[in-house]
Amino acid sequence: MNSSASAPAKTPGWRQWLTTDAPASRRQARLSAWYRSWLAFRSNPMAMFGLVILLLLVSTALLAPVLAPHDPFAQNLSTRLSAPGANGYLLGSDTLGRDILSRLIYGSRITLYIVSLVALMAPIVGLFVGTAAGYLGGWVDIVLMRITDIFLAFPRLVLALAFVSALGAGIENAVLAIVLTAWPPYARIARAETLTIRNADFIHAIRLQGAGALRVITRHIWPLCISSLVIRVTLDMAGIILTAAGLGFLGLGAQPPSPEWGAMISAGRKFILDHWWVATMPGLAIFIVSLAFNLLGDGLRDVLDPKKSAR
Amino acid sequence: MRSDNSKTGIAIDGLNVWFGEGENRVDAVVNACFTVPEGSSFGLVGESGSGKSTILRAITGLTPTWSGSITVMGKNLGRSRDRAFYRTVQMVFQDPYASLHPRQTVDHVLSEALYLHGFDNPDRRITQILGDVGLSRSFRFRWPHQLSGGQRQRVAIARALIIEPTTLLLDEPTSALDVSVQAEILNLLTRLRKERGLTYLMVSHDLSVVGHMCSDMAVMNRGKIVEMLTVDHLRALKATHPYTRQLLEASIQKRRETAQ
């Protein structure tokens, strides 16, 4: 009945609803805050470029069976090492005559799998350790931060190598190895943020309302730490992809015949002078995705950085 | 002052507060004694660094390094404070720009307080308290950055009062606000005290604010209480301690200047 009355002003209506100064519900307040961030993010063309590439990557991974022109594992030794464009291989074929484009498309699934596992695990470990150390202080801080220092002292790739060779090669172990070496910087950032927040009046105020340490940390400190962590994670993603590719290159990550990009570069290394495309194509894929993550991270920093938005 | 016919809200006896240890020890409050009868309003006056805010922080437990005795509503306080204490004693901070969480809406701030103390019916209580502090319903879901200083301080007062405490500690609640807004907040606090029978312990550097709000006051200088007097005595210019006279003269001087 009432819908006819509100229908005509629909297009300006929802925008107004999102940008209102006096939201009428919890949902509207949250949505309008998100919408404002989105508007700020959208005005940054480089960040949008990064976001578009990553969305393309995600849809490529989802639609891999539809998009891939060939089976990524199908070998055809008579057309091995075809140049890009020859024999119907858009990006050429590798040493066993497998279509590189199809392998890149399927490989995006592995890349995304590694990236999302690391992005889910490392920052959360770091957030727990860092905020607990920063907020509780005293001996908790000393113990947790010394552990962090120990992990920080290991060279990343070497520790990952040792870990993978101890547990066996494979994507899951490679991810674990990366997480093990990736969380300490997040703990440091979270602790530094917590130290600046914990003596703020609004934290005193919630303590004076009787909130315990756990609630203060999870409900009041985390929301302020998360944005700087998200920025850092996005910027680190390039490094994580490269580490995963490095492990693959050394034969300690994904195992053949899985089309992991690093492993593909490694396989093409032998022919790099005569058949450049075998190593170059996966290299380009890694480069583009890493660049996209960096651009996205820069854009997110502009939008989310609490020091900037506080002004 | 120490009349026995009214109950004691806050009693401070021989309170010392210090920061740091050994060589670096700074005594912020030395041997402070005063009592605030239940339902009355008591002011602590002094310049910045005189230790008046430190007394509030010792009462609330934010500063753990103190000795002496603090009694609130007949309960002698130890090192730690339980939730029941925070149920009866709440605090309003000086700077409303720092005392509200930047990522929480007014609604979130108020419902968190209700949740922590297990109150029922949050919707009704939030609408009610917003009305009480003079904010319209449209403010409920706003973010702090959408509010002015005076509006923020009203939210901070609402946050303190929504769990229905009996005692309110006010740490210079108006000094970060514009002069025109100051009077509004002071009138609001006076009205709320009358309506709810609250006990106020108010800290201020401004004699006129304390004179407006409180019935009794203590003047602090360098961590010590130098004089206790009633506001009537103050108005009659019967202050005896030279420091109080100095403050009083400065206050009168300031008022003359603003009048001109």
Residue B228 in domain? yes
> In which band, very low, low, confident or very high, does the pLDDT at B259 lie, cut at 50, 70 and 90?
confident
Predicted confidence at residue A5, as pLDDT, reads: 44
Mean of per-residue pLDDT scores for chain A: 85
B-proximal residues of A, 196-225, CB under 8 Å: 200-202, 204-211, 215, 219-220, 223-224
Predicted confidence at residue B216, as pLDDT, reads: 92
A222-262 pLDDT per residue, tens: 988 888 888 888 888 888 888 888 888 888 888 878 888 88
Three-state SS annotation for A142-183 = HHHHHHHHHHHHCCHHHHHHHHHHHHCCCHHHHHHHHHHHHH
Residue A2 in domain? no
- Please name every residue paired with B167 in a beta bridge, in sequence order, or none if there are none: B89, B199
Task: Extract the tokens encoding A64.
Answer: 């891999």
Residue B3 in domain? no
Residue A268 in domain? yes
Alpha carbon distances (Å) from A10 to A3, A5, A6, A7, A171: 10, 10, 7, 5, 49
Task: Extract the tokens encoding B178.
Answer: 């514009």
Q: Which CATH number belongs to the domain containing residue B19 in this structure?
A: 3.40.50.300
How large is the C-alpha radius of gyration of chain B?
18
Query: What is the distance between the alpha carbons of residues A303 and A51, in angstroms, rounded to a whole number?
Result: 14
Helix (H, G, I), strand (E, B) or coil at B49: coil
pLDDT reading at A125 higher than 60 = yes
> In which band, very low, low, confident or very high, does the pLDDT at A12 lie, cut at 50, 70 and 90?
low
Residue A206 in domain? yes
Lowest mean pLDDT of A174-183, A251-260, B10-19, B161-170, name the range.
A251-260
Query: What is the distance between the alpha carbons of residues B231 and B202, in angstroms, rounded to a whole number?
Result: 14
Predicted confidence at residue A271, as pLDDT, reads: 83
Mode of pairing for the β-strands spanning B26-37 and B8-19: antiparallel
Mean pLDDT of the B27-43 span = 92
Query: What is the distance between the alpha carbons of residues A201 and A180, in angstroms, rounded to a whole number?
Result: 35
Closest residue to B98, CB basis, from A25, A202, A224 = A202
Residue A28 in domain? no
Lowest mean pLDDT of A18-32, A112-126, B121-135, B220-234, name the range.
A18-32
**Chain A residues in contact with B91 (beta carbon < 8 A):** 205, 208
Lowest mean pLDDT of A18-27, A174-183, B1-10, name the range.
B1-10
Q: Return the top range by mean pLDDT from A123-132, A148-157, A278-287, B76-85.
A: A123-132
Closest residue to A205, CB basis, from B141, B143, B159 = B159
How many domains does one find in chain B? 1
**Chain B residues in contact with A200 (beta carbon < 8 A):** 98
Residue B61 in domain? yes
Mean pLDDT of the B155-184 span = 91
Domain assignment of residue B73, given as a range: 8-259
Predicted confidence at residue B159, as pLDDT, reads: 95
> In which band, very low, low, confident or very high, does the pLDDT at A90 lie, cut at 50, 70 and 90?
confident
Predicted confidence at residue B32, as pLDDT, reads: 92
Closest residue to A201, CB basis, from B98, B113, B146 = B98
Residue B203 in domain? yes
pLDDT reading at B209 higher than 50 = yes
Answer whether B45's CB lies under 8 Å from B204's CB.
Answer: yes
How large is the C-alpha radius of gyration of chain A?
24
Specify the DSSP class assigned to residue A99.
Answer: B
Please name which of A131, A153, A307 lies closest in space to residue A220, comparing C-alpha atoms: A131
**A206/B112 touch (CB, cutoff 8 Å), yes or no:** yes
Residue A31 in domain? no
Mean pLDDT of the A210-219 span = 92
Domain assignment of residue A201, given as a range: 39-309
Residue A9 in domain? no
Q: Does B157 touch chain A (CB under 8 A)?
A: no
pLDDT reading at B129 higher than 90 = yes
Residue B165 in domain? yes
For residues B223 and A161, the model is more confident at B223
How many domains does one find in chain A? 1
pLDDT reading at A10 higher than 70 = no
Mutation for testing the B interface, residue in A35, A202, A206, A309 having most B CBs under 10 Å: A202
Please name which of B126, B170, B180 lies closest in space to residue B149, comparing C-alpha atoms: B180
Predicted confidence at residue A77, as pLDDT, reads: 84
Tell whether omega for the bond before A257 is within 30 degrees of 0, i.e. cis: yes
A171–chain B nearest CA distance, Å = 38
pLDDT reading at A7 higher than 50 = no
Query: What is the distance between the alpha carbons of residues B153 and A212, in angstroms, rounded to a whole number?
Result: 24
Helix (H, G, I), strand (E, B) or coil at B11: strand
Taking the C-alpha atoms of A173, A175, A177 and A183 in order, what is their torsion angle to the nearest 10 degrees? -150
Q: Does A40 touch chain B (CB under 8 A)?
A: no
Q: Does A34 touch chain B (CB under 8 A)?
A: no
> In which band, very low, low, confident or very high, does the pLDDT at A305 lie, cut at 50, 70 and 90?
low
Residue B124 in domain? yes
Q: Which CATH number belongs to the domain containing residue A291 in this structure?
A: 1.10.3720.10
> In which band, very low, low, confident or very high, does the pLDDT at A56 lie, cut at 50, 70 and 90?
very high
Predicted confidence at residue B8, as pLDDT, reads: 84
Predicted confidence at residue A147, as pLDDT, reads: 94
Nearest CA in chain A to B62: A204
**Chain B residues in contact with A213 (beta carbon < 8 A):** none
Q: Does A67 touch chain B (CB under 8 A)?
A: no
**A208/B62 touch (CB, cutoff 8 Å), yes or no:** yes
**A209/B156 touch (CB, cutoff 8 Å), yes or no:** no
A163-188 pLDDT per residue, tens: 888 888 888 888 888 888 889 999 99
Residue A177 in domain? yes
> In which band, very low, low, confident or very high, does the pLDDT at A97 lie, cut at 50, 70 and 90?
confident
Residue B2 in domain? no
Predicted confidence at residue B1, as pLDDT, reads: 44
pTM of the model: 0.83
**B141/A24 touch (CB, cutoff 8 Å), yes or no:** yes
B54-102 pLDDT per residue, tens: 999 999 998 889 999 999 988 888 888 888 899 999 999 999 999 999 8
pLDDT reading at B186 higher than 80 = yes
Residue B35 in domain? yes
How many CB pairs below 8 Å do chains A and B form together? Answer: 77
> In which band, very low, low, confident or very high, does the pLDDT at A213 lie, cut at 50, 70 and 90?
very high
Query: What is the distance between the alpha carbons of residues B40 and B214, in angstroms, rounded to a whole number?
Result: 8
B-proximal residues of A, 86-145, CB under 8 Å: none
Residue A121 in domain? yes
Percent of chain A with pLDDT over 70: 94
